[in-house]
């Protein structure tokens, strides 16, 4: 029997039992749909978050408290203000490439408006290092920082919320009991899925922030490398400079690529876990196919006997039932794929995290659904093929 003929016979049998075929294929359909959708969400989250990290600016080195093992949770910082200067001086090829900050959440008030902002206490070169620009007014000057003057630069959202429809330059905002004069407003960055929303920032001199938070420390230091080539030299210089004062476990110098790598790996694992969970439903769907195929073989024992009497070989019968199983799961795979892509589009439109349908998840879903048909169809198909024609013809 030709392959085409086997396929035709299989489709004929499936059509004869439309409802049962549809219900059987539903298990595989839901499985494939879940795989495609969940992998799309996982991939979407991954590229969104790594994109956000990239948005911090390339060629950036992060000097962070702790030994760089992200599994250990947040570490208490041992950095102090003069570590920033020590580090800056140690970097090859001139100063002004390192900046430190302290960060804290604080309620900000201005003329009756109240706003929960992310307050950054920054050192002199912060805006240049993180590649931010002032839209209106001016930045915090070196002397502002050195003297801890009570001046502030607002993120775009902060400015709009505190001073709706007004020019905030020259006005004052209150942080706790202390009033700061607004000297500038930053350009809008846009929302990101990673870290604090930088448009909700309020920037003040680092010494003022330390007073506000009751701290003497610096939370983290950023270093802008001059180029990707120079980044390793900068990393070594930064490490050597800090090692003079701190233990190795107290700090780590990581590049943006490394953070993207680590975060990307974690999210990739998350994606695989999601795919595996969805894969379980695909497996359950496969068991359902196997079950129904066994029922079908038993119901059609006489047909099998008859076909054998008419000259069907063992392999013709086995192939016929195997094709039925694969047609069931393959159909579920194609429809499930379509619904999965549609569901991913809906999620992307509704949720803040975009869903990204990848070619490998499509190939995987279709491949696996056909494979499920083969694997779970083999047992019933072999059983059908090996039926004794005499007994099968007499079967009631």
Partner 1 sequence: MSGGQETAPLLTAEEVTRVYVLGRDNEVHALRGVSFAVDHGEHVAIVGSSGSGKSTLLNLLGALDRPTSGHVRYHGRDVRDMDDTELAQLRNADIGFVFQSFQLLPRLTALDNVVLPLVYRPGSPRERRERARLALERVGLADRVTHRPGELSGGQQQRVAIARALVTEPALLLADEPTGNLDSRTGEEIMILLEELHRDRGTALVVITHEAEVAARAARRIELRDGLIVAEAA
User: Based on CB atoms, which residue is closest to partner 1, 48 or 316?
Assistant: 316
Q: Which is nearer to partner 1, 1 or 348 (CB)?
A: 1
Least Cβ distance, residue 385 to partner 1 (angstroms): 10
Residue closer to partner 1, measured from CB, 39 or 317: 317
In the complex with partner 1, the residue whose CB is nearer, 171 or 302, is 302
Q: Tell me if 20 sits within 8 A of 294, measured CB to CB.
A: no
Residue 101 has φ and ψ, to the nearest 5°, of: -155, 155
- What is the closest distance, in whole angstroms, from the C-beta atom of residue 51 to partner 1 in the complex? 55
- Residue 150 or 382 having the CB closest to partner 1: 382
Q: How far is the CB of 298 from partner 1 (least distance, A)?
A: 16
Of 138 and 314, the one with the shorter C-beta distance to partner 1 is 314
Given the complex with partner 1, which of 224 and 308 has the nearer CB atom?
308
Q: Which residues pair with 72 in a beta bridge?
A: none
| Residue 304: CB minimum distance to partner 1, A | 11
| 8 A C-beta contact, residue 372 and residue 282 | yes
The distance of closest approach from Cβ of residue 194 to partner 1 in the complex, given in angstroms and rounded to an integer, is: 59
Nearer residue to partner 1 within complex by CB, 135 or 306: 306
CB of 344 to partner 1, least distance (A): 39
Q: Which residue has the tokens 């080539």?
A: 229
Closer residue to partner 1, CB minimum distance, 12 or 166: 12
Closer to partner 1 by CB, 191 or 314: give it: 314
- Cα 196 to its chain centre, rounded Å, is 17
**CB within 8 A of 221, min separation 6: which ones?**
62, 63, 79, 83, 84, 87, 98, 99, 100
Secondary structure of the chain in the HEC alphabet? CCHHHHHHHHHHHHHHCHHHHHHHHHHHHHHHHHHHHHHHHHHHHHHHHHHHHHCCCCCEEEEEECCCCHHHCCCCCCECHHHHHHHHHHCCCCCCCEEEEEEEEEEEEECCEEEEEEEEEECCCHHHHCCCCEEEECCCCHHHHHHCCCEEEECHHHHHHHCCCCCCCCCEEEECCEEEEEEEEECCCCCCCCCCCHHHEEEEEHHHHHHHHCCCCECEEEEECCCCCCHHHHHHHHHHHHHCCCCHHHEEEEEHHHHHHHHHHHHHHHHHHHHHHHHHHHHHHHHHHHHHHHHHHHHCHHHHHHHHHCCCCHHHHHHHHHHHHHHHHHHHHHHHHHHHHHHHHHHHHHCCCCCCCCHHHHHHHHHHHHHHHHHHHHHHHHHHHCCCHHHHHHCC
Binding site for partner 1 (CB under 8 A): 1, 5, 9, 12-13, 16, 302-303, 306-316, 389-390, 393
């Amino acid at each position: 029997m030709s392959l085409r003929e086997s396929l035709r016979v299989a489709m004929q049998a499936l059509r004869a039992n439309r409802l049962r075929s549809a219900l059987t294929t539903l298990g595989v359909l839901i499985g494939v749909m879940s795989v495609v959708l969940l992998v799309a969400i996982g991939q979407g989250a991954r590229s969104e978050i790594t994109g956000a990290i990239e948005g911090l600016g390339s060629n950036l080195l992060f000097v962070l408290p702790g030994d760089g093992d992200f599994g250990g949770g947040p570490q208490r910082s041992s950095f102090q203000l003069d570590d920033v200067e020590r580090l800056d001086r140690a970097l090859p090829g001139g100063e002004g490439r390192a900046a430190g900050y302290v960060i804290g959440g604080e309620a900000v008030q201005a003329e009756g408006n109240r706003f929960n902002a992310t307050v950054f206490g920054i050192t002199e070169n912060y805006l240049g290092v993180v590649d931010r620009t002032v839209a209106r007014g001016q930045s915090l000057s070196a002397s502002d920082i050195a003297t801890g003057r009570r001046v502030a630069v607002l993120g775009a959202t902060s400015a709009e919320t505190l001073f709706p429809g007004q020019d905030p330059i020259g006005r004052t905002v209150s942080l706790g009991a202390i009033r700061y004069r607004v000297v500038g407003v930053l350009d809008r960055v846009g929302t990101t899925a990673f870290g604090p929303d930088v448009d909700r920032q309020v920037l003040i001199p680092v010494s003022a922030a330390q007073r506000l938070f009751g701290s003497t420390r610096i939370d983290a230091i950023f270093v802008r490398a001059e180029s990707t080539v120079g980044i390793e030299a900068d990393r070594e210089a930064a490490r050597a400079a800090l090692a003079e004062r701190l233990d190795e476990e107290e700090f780590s110098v990581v590049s943006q690529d490394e953070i993207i790598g680590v975060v990307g790996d974690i999210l990739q694992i998350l994606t695989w876990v999601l795919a595996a969970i969805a894969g379980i439903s695909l497996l359950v769907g496969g068991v359902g196919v196997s079950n129904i195929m066994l029922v079908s073989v038993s119901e059609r024992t006489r047909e099998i006997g008859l076909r054998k009497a008419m000259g069907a070989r063992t392999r013709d019968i086995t192939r016929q039932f195997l094709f039925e199983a694969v047609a069931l799961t393959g159909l579920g795979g194609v429809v499930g794929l379509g619904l999965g892509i549609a569901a991913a589009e809906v999620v992307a439109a509704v949720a803040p995290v975009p869903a990204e349908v990848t070619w490998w998840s499509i190939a995987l879903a279709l491949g696996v659904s056909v494979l499920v048909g083969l694997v779970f169809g083999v047992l019933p198909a072999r059983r059908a093929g090996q039926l004794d024609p005499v007994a099968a013809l007499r079967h009631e």
